[in-house]
């Protein structure tokens, strides 16, 4: 090779291989170094994955790399190992994981910081030079003050916990330590209000006192914003990491984590991709929450499983916490993979909020409804207002109305790019597609016949409007994905501080918030939650309702949980009245061959040509059927929304037995799909989703 050195790199692209590049003479590189390269005539920031390496391709075709990425921090080999493991499990490329860990905005922020650091160093050097040349003492002192101002302040040490652990909490903490000593992931099954957060903070203190770091994961940005104050009371140096933070702040957190000094990071699932060097504990709070699953793009990972992978690589303990654990986690505890610790006693005395199920069909027959509200619910809201308490109302649909229909011809306005109805939004009036974002003006008239359009159903905006008319004196707020990011924290803070009487929202209001004044929680049109076409529908409905129920009646105060439904006899409501039925749900899963007794790999085909996607889906299904045992391949079939953004969608579901051949079968599936794409020239149309939500 004439003394030439070659390397392989990871590019932020869905490549099944890692390209070779020639190293210019006199340049020293190591695994993890960042380099500038050209690939397919485009520039990229790449990571050296192997160095030196003997090329398994024609040397004459290997391009020289452009240059090192001067000043950008190297990627640790442990990070690259983590990426490889994640890519292998979720059947994607290492490049796609690299892109998730270091998106282009993050790299640009790093490059900006390198330039800022160079300018800062230049400024410090000039100040030092001026100080040495200064003749007057007051001038030297002024220069010294400027230098001091450029230095980083020291961080404060953690303060004590907000209150002492109860005997039940101490017992749970001992159980967690026992599980960690056995080298197991621990599942903390603690009822709402039992004080799981205080246990998390106690464990974090122990870990940081040993000189190691803590990663505290929550499912939603909104939840991290409330928890930041609570965790910050015990750990003033807590760092927050999620997509709502500025690129500069996220880069600062990454730099601090990379230093490997003891730290605590509170973040959403993306915080798993920080450059962890010294992790001692990973906490996954509300581990059951579906927000932990990344749907698109690849890697389509679940934060819970990914945290366990990271914990093994880092030698860190992993704690999963929930009041309504996922059936997957309960199964893992049952077979001994996890250690399970129960915490069934509330920190403040008191029972869970009693349940009242209101039959809206029966109420409407006897004139017991006023718009979206039963008179019974309105009476409870009035009583709560009179007693100075707070109310949260859950409506699982944002917008003013989920759809609009012509009063004369029956025409329903649909998105021109998706097979879904347009939702009506107010202020300003417009029709919006919640799938592709298409928006069009709304004049209230049918485009076919010119007659008036009638809003169907009620979303959070309409609920807010109705409620304001009924209780004009009440302070009402709304929290859903239409709430601007900059206002979200203010809405939560105002409710937490008692400045709001009634909060209306979508599922985000059911998360692990701690509102001391909340006494009434109610679900409107619960049937939209129960009607999901999925084998997890019952489990998720129970989790959602139980989590929401647990928001009320905290600190020993009585609470009330109301559900308005057209199906009061639905078995989910009976389960809410009874005892823990997770064993029954698991048995149902076992009988029908669903996870956790099997593993699912879902294939999603997207194509603007409907005939082609149907043909390709059938051909791919036949190919996979010849590869897998009988009964493993389900489909192809069209999902409920089978066209989004001009793309027709077809699914193929693979149900794989949990046996010793699972890993080899997953590898064979990935290879078979790659070969299918190549032979049919169908690249870019097929996505694989392991363990879909």
- Is 436 within a domain? no
Q: Are 42 and 133 in the same domain?
A: no
CATH value at residue 76: 3.40.1440.60
Whether residue 517 is found in the same domain as residue 387: yes
CATH number at residue 177: 3.40.50.300
pLDDT of residue 227: 87
- What is the reported pLDDT for 111? 57
* Of residues 292, 272, 283, the one with CA closest to residue 219: 292
For 154-192, what is each residue's pLDDT tens digit? 444 444 454 589 999 999 999 999 999 999 999 999 988
Model confidence at 404, in pLDDT bands (50, 70, 90)?
very high
Order of strands, edge to edge, in the sheet holding 430-432? 423-425, 430-432, 439-441
Q: In what order do the strands lie in the sheet with 317-322?
A: 239-241, 264-267, 213-217, 279-285, 317-322, 185-190, 338-343
Q: Which residue has the tokens 């059947």?
A: 91
Let me know if residue 127 belongs to a domain: yes
Please report the pLDDT score of residue 149 as a whole number.
Answer: 64
Q: Are 196 and 308 found together in one domain?
A: yes
Same domain, 175 and 297: yes
- Encoded tokens for 251: 């880069």
Residues 6+ apart with CB under 8 A from 255: 73, 113
**DSSP-based three-state secondary structure for 293:** strand
- % of the chain with per-residue pLDDT over 70: 92
108 part of a folded domain: no
Judge if 508 and 545 occupy the same domain: yes
Residues 484 and 604 in one domain: no
Q: Answer yes or no: do 321 and 197 share one domain.
A: yes
Establish if 162 belongs to a structural domain.
no
- 312, 343, 374: which is the final residue of a domain? 343
pTM reported for the whole predicted model: 0.88
pLDDT at 157 (0 to 100): 40
Phi-psi group of 519: left, alpha or beta (phi > 0 → left; psi -120 to 50 → alpha; rest → beta): alpha
**pLDDT single digits (tens) 641-686:** 999 999 999 999 999 999 999 999 999 999 999 999 999 999 999 9
Phi/psi for 342 (5° steps) reads: -100, 140
* pLDDT at position 643: 97
**Using CA of residue 514, residue 515, residue 516, residue 521, what is the dihedral sign?**
negative
On whether both 193 and 273 belong to a single domain, the answer is: yes
Q: What are phi and psi of 158, to 5 degrees?
A: -60, 145
Model pLDDT for residues 568-613, shown as the tens digit of each residue = 999 899 888 776 678 888 999 999 999 999 999 999 999 999 999 9
Res 499 pLDDT > 50: yes
**Residue whose structure tokens are 């160095």:** 51
- Residue 681 φ/ψ region, left for φ over 0, alpha for ψ in the -120 to 50 degree band, beta for the rest: left
Q: What is the CATH number of the domain that holds 621?
A: 3.30.70.600
Considering only residues 103 and 45, tell me which one the structure prediction assigns the higher pLDDT.
45
Looking at the domain assignment, is residue 279 inside a domain? Answer: yes
Q: Answer yes or no: do 366 and 499 share one domain.
A: yes
> What is the span of the domain harbouring residue 135?
115-147
Q: Residue 108's pLDDT is what?
A: 60
**211 and 264 both lie in a single domain:** yes
Let me know if residue 107 belongs to a domain.
no
Q: How many domains does the chain have?
A: 5
The CA distance from 327 to 333, in Å, is 10
Which residue has 């077979």 as its token pair?
A: 335
Exposure of 672 in the CB half-sphere (CA atoms within 13 A): 18
Query: In this predicted structure, which of 85-94, 117-126, 201-210, 519-528 has the lowest mean pLDDT?
Result: 117-126
Residues 60 and 125 in one domain: no
What's the CA gap between 338 and 189, in Å, rounded? 12
Task: Evaluate if residue 374 carries a pLDDT over 70.
Answer: yes
Q: Is the pLDDT of residue 31 over 60?
A: yes
Mean residue pLDDT of the chain comes to: 90
**Which pLDDT score is estimated for 74?**
93
- Name the least confident of 96-105, 401-410, 547-556, 655-664: 547-556
180, part of any domain: yes
pLDDT in tens, 105-159: 556 655 556 556 666 677 677 777 777 877 777 777 776 776 776 554 444 444 4
Mean pLDDT of 270-283: 96
Instruction: Indicate whether 125 and 274 sit together in one domain.
Output: no
Greater confidence (107 vs 27) lies with 27
Instruction: Produce one character per residue of 98-137: b if its CB has 16 or more CB atoms within 10 Å, e if not.
Output: bbbbbbeebbebbeebeeeeeeeeeeeeebeeebeeeeee
Q: Which two tokens stand for residue 325?
A: 């654990």
Asked if the structure places residue 476 within a domain, the reply is yes
């Amino acid at each position: 090779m004439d003394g030439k050195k070659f390397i392989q790199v990871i590019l932020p692209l869905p490549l099944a291989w890692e390209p070779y590049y020639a190293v210019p003479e006199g340049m020293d590189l190591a695994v993890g170094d960042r380099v500038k390269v050209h690939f397919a005539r485009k520039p990229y920031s790449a990571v050296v994955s192997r160095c030196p390496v003997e090329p398994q391709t024609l040397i004459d075709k290997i391009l020289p790399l452009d240059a090192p990425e001067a000043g950008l921090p190297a990627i640790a080999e442990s990070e690259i190992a983590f990426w490889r493991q994640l890519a292998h499990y979720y059947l994607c490329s290492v490049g796609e994981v690299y892109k998730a860990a270091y998106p282009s905005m993050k790299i640009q922020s790093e490059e900006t910081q390198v330039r800022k650091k160079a300018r800062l160093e230049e400024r410090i050097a000039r100040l030092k030079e001026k100080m040495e040349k200064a003749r007057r003492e007051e001038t030297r002192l002024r220069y010294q003050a400027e230098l001091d101002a450029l230095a980083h302040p020291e961080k404060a040490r953690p303060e004590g916990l907000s209150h002492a652990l109860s005997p039940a909490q101490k017992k749970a903490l001992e159980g967690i330590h026992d599980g960690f000593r056995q080298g197991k992931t621990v599942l903390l099954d603690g009822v709402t209000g039992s004080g799981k957060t205080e246990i998390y903070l106690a464990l974090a203190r122990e870990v940081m006192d040993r000189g190691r770091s803590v990663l505290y994961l929550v499912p939603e940005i909104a939840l991290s914003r409330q928890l930041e104050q609570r965790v910050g009371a015990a750990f003033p140096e807590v760092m927050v990491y999620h997509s709502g933070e500025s690129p500069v702040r996220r880069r600062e957190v990454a730099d601090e984590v990379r230093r490997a000094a003891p730290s605590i990071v509170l973040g959403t699932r993306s915080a798993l991709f920080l450059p962890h060097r010294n992790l001692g504990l990973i906490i996954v709070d509300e581990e059951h929450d579906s927000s932990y699953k990344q749907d698109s793009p690849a890697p389509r990972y679940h934060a819970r499983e990914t945290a366990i992978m990271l914990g093994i690589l880092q030698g860190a303990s992993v704690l999963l916490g929930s009041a309504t654990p996922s059936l997957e986690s309960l199964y893992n505890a049952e077979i001994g993979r996890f250690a399970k610790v129960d915490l069934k006693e509330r920190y403040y005395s008191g029972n869970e909020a009693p349940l009242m199920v209101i039959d809206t069909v029966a109420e409407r027959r006897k004139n017991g409804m006023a718009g979206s509200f039963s008179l019974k619910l309105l009476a409870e809201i009035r009583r709560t207002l009179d007693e100075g308490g707070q109310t949260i109302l859950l409506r699982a649909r944002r917008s003013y109305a989920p759809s609009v229909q012509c009063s004369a011809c029956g025409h329903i306005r649909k998105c021109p790019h998706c097979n879904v109805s347009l939702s009506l939004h107010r202020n300003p009036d417009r029709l919006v597609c919640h799938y592709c974002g298409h928006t069009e003006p709304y004049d209230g008239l049918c485009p076919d016949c010119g007659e008036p359009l009638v809003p169907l159903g009620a979303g959070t905006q309409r609920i807010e409007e109705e409620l304001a008319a009924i209780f004009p004196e009440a302070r009402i707020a709304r929290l859903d994905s239409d709430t601007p990011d900059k206002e979200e924290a203010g809405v939560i803070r105002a409710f937490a501080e008692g400045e709001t009487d009634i909060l209306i929202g979508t599922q985000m209001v059911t998360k692990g918030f701690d509102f001391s004044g909340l006494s009434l929680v109610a679900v409107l049109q619960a049937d939209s939650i129960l009607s999901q076409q999925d084998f997890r529908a019952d489990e998720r409905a129970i989790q959602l309702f139980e989590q929401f129920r647990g928001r009320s009646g905290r600190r020993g105060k009585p609470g009330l949980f109301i559900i308005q439904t057209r199906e009061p006899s639905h078995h989910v409501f009976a389960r809410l009245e009874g005892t823990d039925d997770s064993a029954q749900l698991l048995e149902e899963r076992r009988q029908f061959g669903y996870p956790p007794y099997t593993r699912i790999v879902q294939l999603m085909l997207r194509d603007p040509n409907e005939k082609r996607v149907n043909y390709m889906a059938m051909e791919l299904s036949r190919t996979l059927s010849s590869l897998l045992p009988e009964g493993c391949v389900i489909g192809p079939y069209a999902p409920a929304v089978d066209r989004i953004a001009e793309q027709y969608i077809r699914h193929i579901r693979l149900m794989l037995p949990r046996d010793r051949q699972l890993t080899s079968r997953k590898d064979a599936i990935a290879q078979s799909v790659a070969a299918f794409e190549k032979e049919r020239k169908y690249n870019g149309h097929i996505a694989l989703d392991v363990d879909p939500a």
